[in-house]
Structure 1
Amino acid sequence: MAHSADEHTGARIKRHRKERGLTQHGLALRAHVSHSLISKVECGQKPASPALVAACARALAVTPADLLGQPYADELRRDRMDALVQPIRVGMENWDIPHDWETPPRPVPLIREDIGRLLVQRRNADLMDMARDLPALIDECVHAVHVTSGEERRQAHECLAWAFRCVFTLAWGLGYHDLAIVALDRVAAAAPVADEPGLPAMHAYLRAQTVMASGRYEVGLRVVDQALRDLDGQNARRPGGLQAMTGVLLLRAAVLAGRAQDADHADARLDAARRLARETGELSDYGVAWGPVNVGVHAVAIASELDEYGQAIELAREVRLPQGYDRARAAHHWMDVGRAHTWAGNPTEALASLQRARRIAPQQTRYHPTTRESVIALKGVGRGRMSGELADFAAWVGA
């Protein structure tokens, strides 16, 4: 059955609930939430928070992506992104068997330069460029790990792990969560040979993201805490990188606690992250942006997770994104601010925030479920009488 492109998450929850033959009360019991919340979300009076989506997905035996409507097939086809993803799927099928190429690979330092550019694309949310570049780089990294030795082979495995990390970002951002899970497994396979402590920590960071989407917050927290213990006392080629990974793991734990509606735990993790950020200042390594600014944007996101939209807006006023800041993180921040304004009843500010996210990282903003849900909610506020700006933005998103 075809479904409307502007169907909000609450409507999808309702549809799947009815397909399971459940009443709202029955779903509420299974999901361990209130009947009132289910009722308000299904009719669009309240947002379907990520925590509620995860809880309902478990109760309905579907994936969170099913309830979010991901991947957004029509928009992906229109942008030809689906055609770019398929070669990545094919490339991911071989990661442990040497190619039968007759020519040797390029020197690993040259491959590392291209991987470095790929990581810049990831931080800038240049999804289309990433998708184009990944298949050839994956093949070249696989070839290199089988025909090199010693330090060169170690570096080749490091390059391969980073390529798979970029696949995860791309696949997760576009809603291909099955491909993202495969990429996560590939990072786990390449990281030990790469012998770089930050890579297992990165794997834990990404794994916590996948279990968080499924609502298994306690598992995510255990994953993060184990990674933090593993990092403690490590000697690394890039000590600043390990500090950055420690910081973002603390922030991941804070978000997990926020999703679990444990405000005290979330605050404790945020405080630990703030203390570390004051010591380190702004750092950029292992493909992450870390420092006081990142702590600030996470505080905004966590307030929204706790349904404290007014507090999120106040915290956002204190955030100052520096020139040249990580575009992927900056755009995500403005989507969070837009969401907070949407549900705080500030439609003008909400749309302005979403437009800022679009200007910073258009591809990421277009495919993120937060954008779509906010736009659908804003359309509902006008009861069909949209401004031209909102109508244009909704058409661009596909909502």
Structure 2
Amino acid sequence: MPQSIEEHVGARIARIRKQRGLTQQGLAIRAHVSKSLLSKVECGQKPASPALVAACARALGVSTSELLGQPYADDLRRDRIDTLIQPIREGLENWDVALDWETAPRPAALIWTDVEHALEQRRQARYTDMVRTLPVLIDESVQAVHTSTGEEQRLAYECLAESFRCVFTVAWKFGFLDLATVALDRLAWTAPRADEPGLAAMHAVLRAQTTMSSGRYDVGLRVVDRALRDLDGQQSRRPAGIEAMRGMLHLRAATIAGRMKDRDHADARLVEAQALSQVTGELPDFGVTWGPVNVAVHAVSIASDADDFGRAIELAENVRIPRDWTRSRAGHHWIDLGRAHAWSNHPEQALDCLHRARRIAPQQTRYHPTVRETVLALKRRERVRSSSLSRYAEWVGV
């Protein structure tokens, strides 16, 4: 098995650090982390938190995806997902130019029906099915924009914006950060033309997500707070959806604050989100998973990201995920909890969580860097060879 497959994040940090001619002390100073923590991460004794990965990536001049080992090219080729990415890249080449079609595009309402289906595939983590439809949806939405006026044109812009949002999701999930950046830029151009404040808020949620990857937490919080101010007094065709987006912005701020190790700020944002969720209940507006359950799983995720594994496990005891809940969010919860159990020396519970994630959202789980890191940690620590862990590791590709 190639060394790169078995290489955990800490080992990648050490390898690239040495290629840069840096000592551990030198990298620790540049990344503003302790040398002791960096040493333990490099040798696999401590987990590489998202905040540490972002800090080391900035200090080393590489992307976080390189430290995480993404995209997993060999595995993507094995599952033939890599062949679906190129048509997406080509589809993003046009977002503002009308073409000479011999036939008119479908009415925007019909295109919107397919976009809603793609959004549901996104929420249920059926990414392969979603990606196959996106290039056509983008082309048809662009053409509809240029051949219509009034409300028909506005809806066509909304179709285009949501299609770009779906591209961002799949590109981000599979580690194609360059493609995700392009999709985010396209969404920034399209959302205002759709004349729907919820889409502008969605762009802010996604942009703040990218700042977490780069470690620019100050920018992320400013993006969130500006978007929250912009929502004040806005009229929307989906008023409840605006409250959902307001809540999602607070959750994004809570996650950022957690990675900044500002627990008080993170908890305050979670309180804001929880208060909104009690008013709205569970809502799927703008393709998001919003409601009290999502606030609760975010609290678990934030604690796990901060390496506060005991708190993550304790908070998870009060989480009750509905049977029909969004698969992408449910799968992510079990991934986060599996990480917490693995580093709390609960290998059986950790593997059980990973199996749950696989059953709920297999594509998301197989290509999630946290899953691979958790599996590698379990393999390093196992005292007696586990056939269940071996089979899971083979399925993941480590």
Q: Which residue of 2 aligns with 1:387?
A: 386
Q: Partner letter of residue 299 of structure 1?
A: A
Q: Which residue of 2 aligns with 1:326?
A: 326
Mapping of 1:293-308 within 5 angstroms?
Answer: 293-308=293-308
Q: Partner letter of residue 117 of structure 1?
A: H
Q: Which residue of 1 aligns with 2:95?
A: 95
Within 2, Cα distance between the matches of 1:390 and 1:127? 25
Within 1, Cα distance between the matches of 2:356 and 2:55? 31
Unpaired runs of 5+ residues, structure 2, are none
Give the C-alpha shift of residue 4 in structure 1: 2.4
Q: Partner letter of residue 99 of structure 2?
A: H
Work out whether 1:7 is the aligned partner of 2:21: no
Within 2, Cα distance between the matches of 1:6 and 1:135? 35
Secondary structure at 1:22 match in 2: coil
Work out whether 1:72 is the aligned partner of 2:72: yes
Within 2, Cα distance between the matches of 1:100 and 1:7? 50
Q: Which residue of 2 aligns with 1:353?
A: 353
1:339-359 C-alpha deviation (Å, 9 max, x unpaired): 100111100000000110000
Within 1, Cα distance between the matches of 2:397 and 2:127? 18
Within 2, Cα distance between the matches of 1:85 and 1:362? 19
Q: Partner letter of residue 39 of structure 2?
A: S
Check the 8 A contact 1:141/1:156 in 2, yes or no.
Answer: yes
Within 1, Cα distance between the matches of 2:18 and 2:311? 36
Q: Partner letter of residue 288 of structure 1?
A: V
Q: Partner letter of residue 68 of structure 1?
A: L
Give the C-alpha shift of residue 386 in structure 1: 2.9
1:182-209 C-alpha deviation (Å, 9 max, x unpaired): 0000001111110001000000000000
Secondary structure at 2:106 match in 1: coil
Secondary structure at 2:4 match in 1: coil
Give the C-alpha shift of residue 99 in structure 1: 1.6
Check the 8 A contact 2:300/2:336 in 1, yes or no.
Answer: yes
1:250-295 C-alpha deviation (Å, 9 max, x unpaired): 0000000000111111111111111111122111100101111011
Give the C-alpha shift of residue 379 in structure 1: 0.4
What is the percent sequence identity of the aligned residues? 66
Check the 8 A contact 1:6/1:398 in 2, yes or no.
Answer: no
Secondary structure at 2:325 match in 1: coil
1:122-172 C-alpha deviation (Å, 9 max, x unpaired): 000001001111111111111111111111000000000000000000000
Q: Partner letter of residue 295 of structure 2?
A: V
Check the 8 A contact 2:49/2:306 in 1, yes or no.
Answer: no
Give the C-alpha shift of residue 95 in structure 1: 0.9
Q: Which residue of 2 aligns with 1:278?
A: 278
Per the normalisation by structure 2, the TM-score is: 0.99
Q: Partner letter of residue 254 of structure 1?
A: A
1:12-35 C-alpha deviation (Å, 9 max, x unpaired): 000000000000011000000000
After the TM superposition, list the runs of 4 or more consecutive aligned residues in structure 1 that deviate by more than 2 angstroms.
none
Q: Which residue of 1 aligns with 2:146?
A: 146
Within 2, Cα distance between the matches of 1:321 and 1:36? 38
The count of corresponding residues between Structure 1 and Structure 2 is: 397
Secondary structure at 2:62 match in 1: coil
Q: Partner letter of residue 360 of structure 2?
A: I
Secondary structure at 1:290 match in 2: coil
1:333-392 C-alpha deviation (Å, 9 max, x unpaired): 000000100111100000000110000000001111110100000000116x43111001
Secondary structure at 1:237 match in 2: coil
Secondary structure at 2:235 match in 1: coil
Within 2, Cα distance between the matches of 1:233 and 1:96? 30
Secondary structure at 1:286 match in 2: helix
CA-based RMSD of the aligned residues comes to 0.9
